[in-house]
Amino acid sequence: MGNILIGLEIHCQLTSLKSKLFCFCHEDYRSFKPNSNICPICCGFPGTLPLLNQKAVEHAAMISNALGSKIPEKIMFYRKNYFYPDLPKNFQITQYNSYGLTSIGSAGSVCISDSKTIRIRRVQLEEDPGRLSYDSGNIHNSNHTLIDYNRSGVALVEIVTEPDFTEPKEVRYFLNKLSSILEHLGVCDTALEGAVRCDANVSLKGGERIEIKNVNSFREVEKALTYEISRQTSLSTRNIRINSETRHWDEQRKITRIARTKEEEQDYRYFPEPDIPLVMLGKDFYTHIEKLVPELPDERLSRFKSKYTLSDHVANILINSKKLADFFESCLKIYYSPVEIANWLVNDLLALIGGEETVILDKLKIEPKHMAELAKLVDEKKISRSNAKQIFTEVFRTGQTPSELLSSTDYSQINDENLIANAVDLVFSSEKSAVEDAKVNSGAINFLVGKVMKMTKGRADPKIVTQLINVKLAQLGNS
Amino acid sequence: MVSKDELRHLGWISRINLSEEEIETFHHQLGDTIKYIDVLETFDSENLTLDYLEVEFSNLREDKTIEFTRDLIPKSSLAQEGYVKGPKMI
Amino acid sequence: MSNLYDLGALEAHRGINQGDFTAEEYVWSIIERIERVEGKVHAFITLNKENALNDAREIDKKIRTKEDAGSLAGVTVGIKDNISTHGLKTTCASKMLENYVPPYDATVVERLKNHGAIVIGKLNLDEFGMGSTTEYSRYGPTHNPWNLDYVPGGSSGGSGAAVSSRECAISLGSDTGGSVRCPASFCSVVGLKPTYGSVSRFGLISYANSLEQIGPICRTVEDVVTVMNAISGHDPNDNTCFLLRSNVPYLHIKKDTAPSSIAIVKELIDGCDPAVSRTIYSALDKFKEFGWESTEISLKSVNYALPSYYTIAMAEASSNLARYDNIRYGFSLPVEGFEWNTYISNVRSNFGEEVKRRILIGSYVLSSGYYSKYYLKARQLRSLLRQELLSNFGKYDLLVGPTMPVLPFRIGEKIDDPLKMYLMDVDTVLANLAGIPAISIPAGHSNGLPIGLQLMAGPFQEQKLIDAASLLENAIDIARSPEI
């Protein structure tokens, strides 16, 4: 897959704001009935004027800062003029770089591996349009377009990268990292439906640029790109010309399709928004923003590796989800056993949750105190590792504490050699042929260990069991 | 000058249907006006600056919510479930 | 004074406050006046009689119970129909807003109401404020009270004519390139275009946002002062009205005014109608009699003011008016059976022809190939013009010239030549481009047609305009209101 160039345009809503970008309606529009989170401003009523939300500028600047972008001392808003039913004013207030003025961020960069950096072209603050649906359920045979303006005017940050990606995998790394950055900044809850959207452009060497729109979650982007690259590759091997076009990602069928309406080359007739003066951020703004930006994934990663002696792999998995990393550090506050706890989270917890769904971490029944307690029990050898795994699964399922589970079912480890010796004796008398095998074949010892463990419901310390079996076998051999 | 085709294109990007009669009159009238504003070209713009109205960051609107409680969109513009009714797309 | 409708704002207010007559009696008098002359003048688009009478009764109740009824209590005000009034149709004289009832009050309307003023109706204008004669109204032209065959000026023609014909005490207009001052001049009344950013635009239906301000039209300078004190000052609903943290300076009428220095702008006098220039020069002699110094100066920027103005105004208009797609508000045309683009292109062909021309040119000058040739250049020249004007205000207190280069003319006389109409705005657009205040004050009549004198001052120097206008008002007695 050589000679592929991919660039991204990512939109993320500033979900932690209270109000929209230019009016007092709720930024979180999701719980409202259609058209019940609207006002004259966000519906473009005559005579209304946009009132720029200070916090939105701040949050956009935090994103710029986290993406290593330059933040100018003054910013300007522009009108992007085009007619579309989701746009109540038939123009969008956005930003634009021209004549010495830039948007809230420009010329940034993000490392996605030791050897790969993605350049950020610009970061800009703009308003989200409303949402369209169709009375028959699809665009083709509907008599009406149904418009809901609840989302109209929601603050949106657009991040545009240079076409620096050469394979879809890199896009995944980048988007994972971006999600984590946004979570760390606390400005965008990427788990909310529609809070992050991604458009991509792909071109094969010598081919024209294809835009892929309508990708409504980061997870789908890699799939859409992989599909699109193989489609283009197969066209070019058959010498079929690739025309510049816009395609939409069909999430159900997992294919890209040429956009239904012809999206002609638009002339947006950008010009400075006359209702918003040039916003003077000032010389101290950058310092102000720096103070607001918390520890970011890169710094946190190196801290996890140095302070907690985690491997690069484990630390990366934790950092990729702020919630998981926070969960981890909350556990440590209760009981300090970083490597043990990190392994539990990365291996066992993620396996139970199912991979990428770590974002739902705060809805789980297992809490840091449970994890800490369990790690402590293991460290103190109060339970065996295999029992700990059983307990972990139970805690995950029920939310009971490990100690509750321990007292209701006896999981405590048996370290008493006499008790274990009794069990060994019983197994030796019931499994005579296996004992005979074991005398000559050390591999059969494991079978005997397993029997003893089963008899003790897994509570016997396996080391002591093995030791006692060996002793007993030796005695039998000598006699 | 604007050609009649250019005028039709301007009508399209402005989403205004123009009748043939309007094309005929506007073609002349817009031509006159554009010729008049062409005088802008004769002024040297080198060393010219742009000035803008300014607002301090500290004077921007505070992030708070106020719900708009009056009726906004007339019932006649609404379809089922509170959606605003627009023409079909295709 | 024999009729209550003859009273100016302050006189009416005093009478009501002192119990000489009730607000209700006064409003009835205004309504009767409207019924008598409105058929000839046609200043209003919508009348608000019932509500006005109810409001008057409320004011009377307050007066009886000695509550503070406000500095404009009972005063009848007409509002240009591009300024939003909650619950009262606001059409912009356009088919596109024929049924539009705003869900909120413009800040200026709210402030006038808070001061006790009574909205008597909505006044005619050129559609969306685009014009200089009020002929481009969907509801037909307004007639000049001084000669009913003549135009009253525009775009706030209804605001000028209604005040001049005593159908209301005061009115609000909006001034994008002269739309308050032109009708004030043509109707022999006083009109002020305030400094950009001193009066909130919230609720003013935008034509060209960066140029326009709402301003009062009144029969006396004193009334202009009262209205300005009520409506101006910071508004959190308008990001461009932040310029003054608290309030614009409180305006007042001075008994004695120290002489100021005035400069006559040669370019503005040179090309104008001889009757106009004669009147202006004789008015200037009055200033000299009071010891004011006057100098003649030349302003280079006059040469590119108009093309810059029209480029910027039309560009902004093309974008501002894009929202009129008849979906959320507008006139009745069912969407059934139409495809999106067909529907909106259809409904938008209901704009009047002047509005269409300006939208088309606006789209043209913003198009990618033309942006720097027209729009950007116009913006640069606008900055240059502002610098030139501001540097002159370092030397002179006021710049002076005619408000309009021509006398009022017959309805229909220039309607087929849009460019000729545009050229009449040459004197007024300077103040809009520079964001400075300007006032038009009656200076005389020629063959029964009014002539206005324009004064311009530096930003937020409205008091200087008031001082000079007040002086001229006392020095020359010019009739404000004809018999109709």
The fold of the B1-44 domain, in CATH, is Histone, subunit A (1.10.20)
Whether residue A256 has pLDDT greater than 50 = yes
Q: Are A328 and A342 in contact (CB under 8 A)?
A: yes
Q: Are A479 and A437 in contact (CB under 8 A)?
A: no
| CB-based contact C322 A91, cutoff 8 Å | yes
Kindly report the CATH number assigned to the domain that includes residue C398: 3.90.1300.10
Q: Which of A276-290, A321-335, A353-367 has the highest mean pLDDT?
A: A276-290
> In the prediction, which pLDDT does A362 show?
66
Give the amino acid at A423: A
Neighbours, chain C (3 or more CB pairs < 8 A): A, B
Residue A1: pLDDT band by 50, 70, 90 thresholds? Answer: very low
Element (H, E) at A158: strand A155-161
Please give the backbone phi and psi of residue A186, each rounded to the nearest 5 degrees, phi first. 70, 25
- pLDDT by residue (tens digit) across A116-170? 999 999 999 999 999 998 877 777 778 889 999 999 999 999 999 999 999 888 9
CA dihedral sign, ordered A28, A32, A35, A39: negative
Q: Which two tokens stand for residue C398?
A: 């006021």
Q: Which two tokens stand for residue A312?
A: 């690069």
Q: Which residue in chain C is spatially nearest to A140 when comparing CA positions?
A: C339
Residue of C130, C245, C323, C360 to mutate when probing chain B, most B C-beta within 10 A: C360
The residues of C annotated as belonging to the active site are 80, 155, 179
Give the amino acid at A44: G
Residue of C84, C85, C107, C239 to mutate when probing chain A, most A C-beta within 10 A: C239
Q: Which residue in chain A is spatially nearest to C321 when comparing CA positions?
A: A89
> In the prediction, which pLDDT does A361 show?
67
Choose between C184 and A394: higher pLDDT: C184
Kindly state the DSSP code that residue A359 receives in the 8-state scheme: G
Q: CA-CA distances (angstroms) from residue C205 to A40, A180, A279, C191, C208?
A: 12, 44, 24, 20, 9
The domain ranges of chain A are 4-289, 295-408, 417-478
Q: CA-CA distances (angstroms) from residue C456 to A128, C251, C284?
A: 42, 16, 14
Smallest CA–CA distance, residue A335 to chain C, in Å, is: 52
For chain C, the straight-line distance linking the first and the last C-alpha, in angstroms and rounded, comes to 16
Residue A411: pLDDT band by 50, 70, 90 thresholds? Answer: low
* Chain C hits for A85, Cβ within 8 Å: 327, 340
Please give the backbone phi and psi of residue A157, each rounded to the nearest 5 degrees, phi first. -110, 125
Q: Are A227 and A216 in contact (CB under 8 A)?
A: no
| CB-based contact A81 C336, cutoff 8 Å | no
> In the prediction, which pLDDT does C248 show?
60
Q: What's the whole-number mean pLDDT along residues A95-99?
A: 84
* Chain B hits for A40, Cβ within 8 Å: 68, 72
| CB-based contact C210 A274, cutoff 8 Å | yes
Of the candidates C100, C208, C375, which has its C-beta nearest A46's C-beta?
C100
DSSP A223-235: HHHHHHHHHHHHH
Q: Which residue in chain B is spatially nearest to A56 when comparing CA positions?
A: B63
The domain ranges of chain B are 1-44
- pLDDT by residue (tens digit) across A27-63? 999 999 999 999 999 999 999 999 999 999 999 999 9
Residue A85: pLDDT band by 50, 70, 90 thresholds? Answer: very high
Choose between A28 and A205: higher pLDDT: A28
Of the candidates B19, B29, B68, which has its C-beta nearest C418's C-beta?
B29
Element (H, E) at A247: strand A245-250
Q: Which of A69-73, A223-227, A453-457 has the highest mean pLDDT?
A: A69-73
> In the prediction, which pLDDT does A97 show?
82
Whether residue A263 has pLDDT greater than 60 = no
Of A351, A321, A81, A12, the closest CA to residue A177 belongs to: A321
Q: Which residue in chain B is spatially nearest to C376 when comparing CA positions?
A: B50
Percentage of chain A beyond pLDDT 90 is: 39
Report the distance separating Cα A179 and Cα A199, nearest Å.
Answer: 15
Q: What's the whole-number mean pLDDT along residues A10-24?
A: 97
* Chain B hits for A71, Cβ within 8 Å: none
Kindly state the DSSP code that residue A345 receives in the 8-state scheme: I
Smallest CA–CA distance, residue B81 to chain C, in Å, is: 16
Q: Domain containing C46: what range?
A: 1-484
Please give the backbone phi and psi of residue A110, each rounded to the nearest 5 degrees, phi first. -135, 125
Neighbours, chain A (3 or more CB pairs < 8 A): B, C
User: Residue C285 forms beta bridges with which residues?
Assistant: none
Q: CA-CA distances (angstroms) from residue C232 to A116, C112, C255?
A: 57, 10, 23
Among the residue ranges A289-298, A464-473, C356-365, the one predicted with the least confidence is: A464-473
Q: Which two tokens stand for residue C367?
A: 């198009």
- pLDDT by residue (tens digit) across A352-387? 777 555 556 667 788 888 888 877 877 887 777 777
> In the prediction, which pLDDT does A410 show?
63
> At a CB cut-off of 8 Å and minimum separation 6, what does A343 contact?
A314
Smallest CA–CA distance, residue C312 to chain A, in Å, is: 10
Residue B13 near chain A (CB below 8 Å): yes
CB pairs under 8 A between A and C: 99
The fold of the A417-478 domain, in CATH, is Arc Repressor Mutant, subunit A (1.10.10)
| CB-based contact B74 C329, cutoff 8 Å | yes
> In the prediction, which pLDDT does A140 show?
76
> In the prediction, which pLDDT does A467 show?
85
Smallest CA–CA distance, residue B21 to chain C, in Å, is: 12
Question: In which residue ranges of chain C is pLDDT below 50?
Answer: 245
Q: What's the whole-number mean pLDDT along residues A92-117?
A: 89
Residue of B15, B17, B61 to mutate when probing chain A, most A C-beta within 10 A: B61
| CB-based contact C341 A51, cutoff 8 Å | no
* Chain C hits for B11, Cβ within 8 Å: 345, 360
Q: CA-CA distances (angstroms) from residue C104 to B24, C90, C477?
A: 41, 11, 41
Strands A74-75 and A278-280, sheet pairing: antiparallel
Q: Which two tokens stand for residue C417?
A: 């030549």
Q: For every residue of chain C, which 3-state class applies, written as one string?
A: CCCHHHCCHHHHHHHHHHCCCCHHHHHHHHHHHHHHHHHHHCCEEEECHHHHHHHHHHHHHHHHCCCCCCCCCCCEEEEECCECECCECCCCCCHHHCCCCCCCCCHHHHHHHHCCCEEEEEECCCHHHCCCCCCCCCCCCCCECCECCECCCCCCHHHHHHHHCCCCCEEEEEECCCCCHHHHHHHCCEEEECCCCCECCCCECCCCCCCCEEEEEECCHHHHHHHHHHHECCCCCCCCCCCCCCCCCCCCCCCCCCCCEEEEEHHHHHCCCHHHHHHHHHHHHHHHHCCCEEEEECCCCHHHHHHHHHHHHHHHHHHHHHHCCCCCCCCCCCCCCCEHHHHHHHHHCCCCHHHHHHHHHHHHHHCCCCCHHHHHHHHHHHHHHHHHHHHHHHHCCEEEEECCCCCCCECCCCCCCHHHHHHHHHCCHHHHHHCCCEEEEEEEEECCEEEEEEEECCCCCHHHHHHHHHHHHHHCCCCCCCCC
Other CB atoms within a 10 A radius of the CB of residue A330 amount to: 15
